[in-house]
Structure formats: structure tokens, C-alpha cells
């Protein structure tokens, strides 16, 4: 029997790749969209398969429990992927209450709806390496057992969601798993995240459409993988025979400065001529270094990434060169 999945955040970066993957696997995929005044822009990441009969979209919002109940009643999903969030860390300092409501309480709304309507469904929660804050194990990695000490309103909200998922798993026997994913990127990444901002602005500079790139903290390091690889991990997590929590990462970390140097050199540009920093783009508290150990995921679920940092950044730069050359 074909399975049915519900994805919150289907029109985001990860939701769009996950929907494609699940449709390829023969799933019927339901996705929720929150209301937006410009409906045309909202679905650009999924427009290429919008007319697939196995894709069904409904308006609903993580802040509106009744809307979640309504969608679960009609979709009757076997698997639920909770990807919706206010996912931008710096903006979470500007909108801490909204971020806590959507990224934290929104998850609880969904769990309550699941408990009422479809308690046998398997739930994936999009947890984040931002939850670790600046805690690092002695060997330089973060893993499932690393204590969580978040340094942003977004990170605090994600820790609440992570904990409430574990609590509902233990209290009510629900199948709820956390994927603790390190940063993952793609040409579909919002262009206000650093990888896609650098790729987009460098392509514009190369084509003579701009000549400067302004960044915040370039000393921070991140463990960057490709979203296409990471949505496969989400699916594997829900196919496991028991609910559990898994880190997903590449185990390789680079600084933002290294990212800039790599992209500019790939375009034969000199970053010193074009790149500067501005205080307004720094965060009140910064997560300095991320490097994940995903041995558990590799050993138990057999996950392996296809992309490298370099092949991913090359793809993103090429996307923007093509976009601005049309």
C-alpha cells in the first residue's frame, strides 16, 4: 500500500526537496501553506511538480491548532515531517516572541493534533545543531550526547521542541524522532543565509551587476552539507524500527571566510576588493563553531552524503550565474 506523508514547511528549502523525494518513492504528499498575501511567490520552490496528482496542498498554520486538526483529518498521514519554522537565527533576535511561538509552541500544537487525530503516525521533528550553542565535546565535535546550551531565541525554541517531542514519545508512546541536522544548503536556500548570500552576490559581481558584498562575522565556522542529502536522512529516520534521535552532519567544518575565499577564487575574483563587514550583521550572541559527528546515523541507518562542500558551492554559484545571465 502506498504511504501518505504530511509536510509542514513544504514550500521551504527542505520541504521542497523532501516532497520530490517522497513523490518519487510513490507517496501521496500533503503539504501545508501558511497564508501569504502574494500567493504566486509562495510556491516557487515546488512549482515544477505543483500539478502532480500525488501532491496536495492545504492552507494551515502551526499557530492555528484547529487548522492542523482539519488537515490531519483529511490527509490521514502515515508519516509527518515537521519542517515549518521561523528558521533564521539572526531574525530570531528581532522577533523572539514570534519565533518562540512558531518554532517552539507550533511543534506542541502539531503534537497535540497528532495525539488527537492520528496517534499511530510517525513524526519527524526538524531539530538543529543550533541547539548545542557553544558546547563542544573534547574531540571538537557535537553529537547526540553533547549538552544543549542555545545562544539564540531560535535555538531556545528548537530545544523546547526537541524536549517536548521526547516527552510525548515517552509519555504517550508516540513514534516521534528528532533529526538534529547541521547546516544544509542548496540553490533553493533563502538568500539571506550566508552560503547563498555569498554565492548570489559573487555571481552578480562577476557579471558586473554589483561590486560589493557586506557580511557579519566571518570567523564563525559551520559544518555545511547539501539539503538534498539531508532530506534522505529525514526519510531514513522515519523508516527505522524505533523512534530515536540522530545527528546528521558532514564532519567537516569551514569558516565563513573560507567560504568567501573558495567562491571568489572559483570566479577568479579578489575578495579583498569586494568584501567588507558591518556591525549590524553581527549577532548579539554568536554560535562560534559547529562540527558534527554523525556516526550513529551512518552506522544504524547507512546514510552517506553525495555532495561535498565544493560541489555544493559550485552548484549554487552556477545557479546564480545562470539566473542573472538569462
Q: Does residue 15 belong to the site contacting ligand NAP (CB under 6 A)?
A: yes
Which partner from the list ligand GDD, ligand NAP, none does 283 bind, CB cut-off 5 to 8 Å by kind? Answer: ligand GDD
d(C-alpha 228, C-alpha 108), whole Å? 27
d(C-alpha 124, C-alpha 118), whole Å? 14
d(C-alpha 45, C-alpha 31), whole Å? 13
d(C-alpha 253, C-alpha 246), whole Å? 19
Q: Does residue 86 belong to the site contacting ligand GDD (CB under 6 A)?
A: no
Among 10, 159, 165, 220, binds ligand GDD (CB under 6 A): 220
Number of residues that bind ligand GDD (CB under 6 A): 23
Which partner from the list ligand GDD, ligand NAP, none does 63 bind, CB cut-off 5 to 8 Å by kind? Answer: ligand NAP
Give min distance, CB of 152 to ligand GDD, in A: 8
Give min distance, CB of 124 to ligand GDD, in A: 15
Which partner from the list ligand NAP, ligand GDD, none does 215 bind, CB cut-off 5 to 8 Å by kind? Answer: ligand GDD
Distances (CA, A) of 253 to 21, 22, 87, 321: 27, 30, 21, 26
| C-beta closer to ligand NAP: residue 58 or 244 | 58
Q: Does residue 62 belong to the site contacting ligand NAP (CB under 6 A)?
A: yes
Q: Does residue 190 belong to the site contacting ligand NAP (CB under 6 A)?
A: yes
| C-beta closer to ligand GDD: residue 69 or 91 | 91
Residue 122: which of 254, 242, 286, 30 has the closest Cα?
242
Give min distance, CB of 89 to ligand GDD, in A: 4
Q: Which residues pair with 181 in a beta bridge?
A: 128, 248
Q: Catalytic positions, please?
A: 128, 130, 154
- Longest Cα separation, the chain: 59
Give min distance, CB of 273 to ligand NAP, in A: 30
Q: Does residue 192 belong to the site contacting ligand GDD (CB under 6 A)?
A: yes
Give min distance, CB of 72 to ligand GDD, in A: 25
Q: Does residue 183 belong to the site contacting ligand GDD (CB under 6 A)?
A: yes
Among 28, 99, 100, 128, binds ligand NAP (CB under 6 A): 128
Q: Does residue 89 belong to the site contacting ligand GDD (CB under 6 A)?
A: yes
Q: Does residue 91 belong to the site contacting ligand NAP (CB under 6 A)?
A: no
Q: Does residue 217 belong to the site contacting ligand GDD (CB under 6 A)?
A: yes
- Site residues for ligand NAP per CB under 6 A: 8-9, 11-15, 32, 34, 36, 42, 61-63, 83-87, 102, 106, 126, 128, 181, 183-184, 190
- Site residues for ligand GDD per CB under 6 A: 87, 89-90, 128-130, 182-183, 192-194, 197, 215-218, 220, 222, 256, 281, 283, 286, 290
Amino acid at each position: 500500500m502506498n504511504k501518505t506523508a504530511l509536510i509542514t514547511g513544504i514550500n521551504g528549502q527542505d520541504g521542497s526537496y523532501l516532497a520530490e523525494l517522497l513523490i518519487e518513492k510513490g507517496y501521496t504528499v500533503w503539504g501545508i501553506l501558511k497564508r501569504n498575501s502574494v500567493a504566486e511567490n509562495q510556491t516557487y520552490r515546488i512549482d515544477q511538480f505543483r500539478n502532480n496528482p500525488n501532491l496536495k496542498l492545504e492552507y494551515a498554520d502551526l499557530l492555528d491548532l484547529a487548522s492542523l486538526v482539519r488537515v490531519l483529518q483529511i490527509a490521514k498521514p502515515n508519516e509527518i515531517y515537521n519542517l515549518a519554522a521561523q528558521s533564521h537565527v539572526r531574525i530570531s533576535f528581532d522577533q523572539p516572541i514570534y519565533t518562540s511561538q512558531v518554532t517552539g509552541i507550533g511543534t506542541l500544537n502539531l503534537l497535540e493534533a497528532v495525539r488527537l487525530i492520528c496517534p499511530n503516525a510517525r513524526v519527524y521533528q526538524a531539530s538543529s545543531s543550533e541547539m548545542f550553542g557553544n558546547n563542544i565535546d573534547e574531540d571538537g565535535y557535537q553529537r547526540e550526547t553533547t549538552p544543549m546550551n542555545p545562544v539564540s531565541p531560535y535555538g531556545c525554541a528548537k530545544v523546547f521542541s526537541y524536549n517536548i517531542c521526547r516527552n510525548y514519545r515517552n509519555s504517550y508512546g508516540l513514534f516521534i524522532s528528532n533529526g538534529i541536522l547541521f547546516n544544509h544548503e542548496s540553490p533553493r536556500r533563502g538568500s539571506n543565509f550566508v552560503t547563498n548570500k555569498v554565492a548570489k552576490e559573487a555571481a552578480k559581481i562577476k557579471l558586473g551587476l554589483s561590486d560589493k558584498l557586506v557580511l557579519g562575522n566571518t570567523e564563525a565556522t559551520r559544518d555545511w552539507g547539501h539539503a538534498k542529502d539531508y532530506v534522505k536522512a529525514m526519510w531514513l529516520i522515519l523508516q527505522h524500527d524505533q523512534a530515536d534521535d540522530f545527528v546528521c552532519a558532514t564532519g567537516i567544518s569551514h569558516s565563513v571566510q573560507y567560504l568567501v575565499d573558495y567562491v571568489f577564487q572559483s570566479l577568479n575574483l579578489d575578495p579583498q576588493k569586494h568584501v567588507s563587514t558591518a556591525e549590524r550583521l553581527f549577532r548579539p550572541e554568536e554560535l562560534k563553531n559547529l562540527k558534527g559527528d554523525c556516526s550513529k546515523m551512518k552506522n544504524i541507518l547507512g546514510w552517506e552524503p553525495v555532495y561535498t562542500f565544493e560541489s555544493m558551492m559550485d552548484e549554487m554559484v552556477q545557479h546564480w550565474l545562470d539566473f542573472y545571465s538569462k
